[in-house]
Amino acid sequence: MATSVAEAGTARPVRTRFANVLFWRLVSIALVLGAWEIAGRIPVSFAFPPFSATFAAFVGIILDGTLPAAYLTTLQPLATGLVVSAVFGVMFGVLMGLSRTAEWALAPVFIVMQAAPMAALIPLVTFVYGIGLTAKVLAVCLLAAPVIVLNTYKAVRTVSPSLLDMCRSFLGTPLQQVTKVILPAAGPVIFAGLRLGVAAGFIGIVLAELLITPTGIGDIITYSSSIADYPTMYATIASLIVFAGVTVSILQQVETRFVRPEKRA
Amino acid sequence: MRRLTLPVIRHAFVVLSLVSFVGAANAQQPTVRVAYGDVPGVEAMGFLIALERIKERGMKIELMTLKSEDLATQAVANGQAEIGVGTPYAPMQRLGVPLRLFYQLSTLRFFPVVNGEFYKTWKDLDGQDFVVHSRGSGTEAIATLMAQRNGIKFKSISYVPGSEVRALAMLRGNIKATIVDTANKRFLESQAPGKFIFLPMGDVQATDDALFARQEWLQQNAQTADLIVEEFLKVWRAIKADPNFVAEQRVKYNLLPDLPANLQADIVPYYKEAAEANVYPIDGGRAKAVSEDFAFFTISGAIKGDPTTLKAEDYWDLGPLDRALAKLGS
């Protein structure tokens, strides 16, 4: 009896808190959408449709299959680019963190890549790699890889020396130092880099589809803009923002669950 | 105190009246901002000369170069520019943006081109891939029209924006059939003489660029619009009469002084060919341009509906052109 009362006592505040958070989230979303609706109805510009028209266009392109088909096309270079960037990015990052020579050879390249204005450089990619899938995958990698590499490198470099000393004092081999100490300790920051890399990859694919050849999402944006169908254009852009947001938060959940169990609520 | 106040008031009065006089003078002669959605090159030289001549007639003109025609349309619609260059049929029809075209600057000039090793005629393209600029573009409309006229069906149409990119892809062999503009036709001919075959297009006429403005601006500034149209007509007729005209005037007005030497050499041949092909019409388009545009842009998808039921007055204001033609003679 005493146990059940105690359980009821803790369950209610948690549920109330959740309801509160949900309430304020919904209110903030409603406020933004309401402001959008008003701005569209004034209108701020003839090229800025109200939320209602955009939502109607969104339902339209989902029902007629345009948007799902576009996502299938866009996801191909995006997923390829992200997998390549994640695998090679983490590998290079760890290598640079462990070896001074690798750091000397590679760090400047990635720092320059991160600082360079990629939107201006992507058209140059077409001169070398043409206009096909390779150029788009490369555009995703150009944006995603530097973030992943540099985060991984910093994460490995800043692993606490006392942890490494401890491993050595227990006669840990260099391989054990990497697998048992460095990677687990660097995990959270590496994962944060991966999350940022995925977000950057989305920018890369949109730039590629707008600047190289309009396919998938880029095609809907370009075409609807050229025929002044702005609700469809905004619906596509908004869907992309939501999609990117959801992907990044899923990654965050994965991170909390597997890499940082201590953060689990 | 009184002695000090009176001169101050008197001075203030003088300054105020001066300011209001200058303001009134400016109000009579406001700057006409022209939004041009491209980087001006050889093909825009005639346009720039016309603007210089309008300035010489005492009008203040400011040229704004923007990234795309869409931006030029928005600038005019939002009142950040008075005149735009382009063909904003879609926003006029779909969103009811109160713009009107009033002078046809140029007609579409494109060249369907194929790699001679694979194809020789339109019929050979039946069931093959074809590359155009973008969905809903003029080049796609041409491709659709050519397929209809030649009784063929492309396997697929893909999109590669930029005539220069498509020309480069043709040279590299990435694509085998596409459409390029005049400059890139010449580029292909010079880089690989005889390798590419340019297919006939027959009679396809439509506006490439036109001057447009807000409807209410055209009504309130009829004199300004008339003067602009007159000068454009004069320059366009001078180009038709003598293709060297553009190169000479460029020197006179020092237009695009940084133009690379190879492009400078291109000016005379470009305008000679353009004059022969009537790229720059000497009558501003008139009603003929309107009906040709309706037929063409309904195919491209920029305008919806049956071309025969569309009304010219919903898209064009031919008033300034009619008045200028009456003055200069048609």
Q: With a cut of 0.90, is the ipTM above it?
A: no
Question: Are residues B82 and B153 located together in one domain of the fold?
Answer: no
User: Quick one: closest CA in B to A131, which residue?
Assistant: B160
- Helix (H) or strand (E) run with residue A6 in it: helix A2-41
Question: Are residues B320 and B180 located together in one domain of the fold?
Answer: no
Question: Are residues B126 and B271 located together in one domain of the fold?
Answer: no
pLDDT at B186: 85
B114 within a domain of the structure (yes/no): yes
Q: How distant is the Cα of B197 from the closest Cα of chain A, in angstroms?
A: 22
The last residue of one of the domains, among B141, B164, B198, is B198
Is the pLDDT confidence value at B11 over 50? yes
Mean pLDDT of B250-269: 90
Distance CA B203, CA B201 (A): 6
Question: Are residues B214 and B268 located together in one domain of the fold?
Answer: yes
Which of A210, A227, A229, A234 is the best substitution to test chain B (most B C-beta atoms within 10 A)? A227
Is the pLDDT confidence value at A31 over 80? yes
The predicted-structure confidence for A97-107, as pLDDT tens digits, reads as follows 989 999 999 99
Distance CA A240, CA A247 (A): 10
B267 within a domain of the structure (yes/no): yes
Please report which residue ranges of B78-221 form alpha helices under DSSP H: 89-95, 138-150, 163-172, 182-191, 215-220
**Domain CATH for B309:** 3.40.190.10
Mean pLDDT of B259-266: 87
In the sheet where B99-107 sits, what is the strand order? B61-65, B32-36, B83-86, B207-214, B99-107
Distance CA B238, CA B281 (A): 11
Is the pLDDT confidence value at B204 over 70? yes
Question: Are residues B241 and B305 located together in one domain of the fold?
Answer: yes
The last residue of one of the domains, among B133, B166, B198, is B198
Which residues, including other chains, have CB under 8 Å from residue A144's CB and lie 6 or more apart?
A81, A82, A85, A86, A89, A197, A198, A200, A201, A204
B91 at A interface, C-beta within 8 A: yes
Is the pLDDT confidence value at A241 over 50? yes
The predicted-structure confidence for A185-219, as pLDDT tens digits, reads as follows 998 899 999 999 999 999 999 999 988 888 899 99
Is the pLDDT confidence value at A3 over 50? no
B298 at A interface, C-beta within 8 A: no
- Tally of domains within chain B: 2
B25 within a domain of the structure (yes/no): no
B24 within a domain of the structure (yes/no): no
Please answer whether residues B118 and B221 qualify as being in contact, where contact means their C-beta atoms are separated by less than 8 angstroms: no
Distance CA B244, CA B230 (A): 21
Distance CA A148, CA A261 (A): 22
For domain A55-263, the question of CATH label 1.10.1660.10 is answered with no
Is the pLDDT confidence value at A148 over 60? yes
B67 at A interface, C-beta within 8 A: no
Distance CA B217, CA B76 (A): 10
pLDDT at A110: 93
**Domain definitions of chain A by residue range:** 1-48, 55-263
Question: Are residues B51 and B133 located together in one domain of the fold?
Answer: no
The predicted-structure confidence for B124-138, as pLDDT tens digits, reads as follows 999 999 999 888 888
Buried b (16+ CB within 10 A) or exposed e, A212-237: bbbbbbbbbbbbbbbbbbbbbbbbbb
Q: How far is CA B3 from the centre of its chain?
A: 64
Among A240, A152, A247, smallest CA distance to A192 is for: A152
Q: How distant is the Cα of B209 from the closest Cα of chain A, in angstroms?
A: 15
Q: Do A213 and B159 touch (CB under 8 A)?
A: yes
Question: Are residues B187 and B317 located together in one domain of the fold?
Answer: no
Is the pLDDT confidence value at B54 over 70? yes
The predicted-structure confidence for B223-241, as pLDDT tens digits, reads as follows 999 999 999 999 999 999 9
The last residue of one of the domains, among B174, B198, B222, is B198
Is the pLDDT confidence value at B287 over 70? yes
Question: Are residues B190 and B222 located together in one domain of the fold?
Answer: no
Which of B67, B68, B94 is the best substitution to test chain A (most A C-beta atoms within 10 A)? B94
Residue A168, Cβ neighbours under 10 Å: how many?
14
Domain around B124: 110-198
At A1, is the pLDDT very low, low, confident or very high (cuts 50, 70, 90)?
A: very low
Question: Are residues B104 and B115 located together in one domain of the fold?
Answer: no
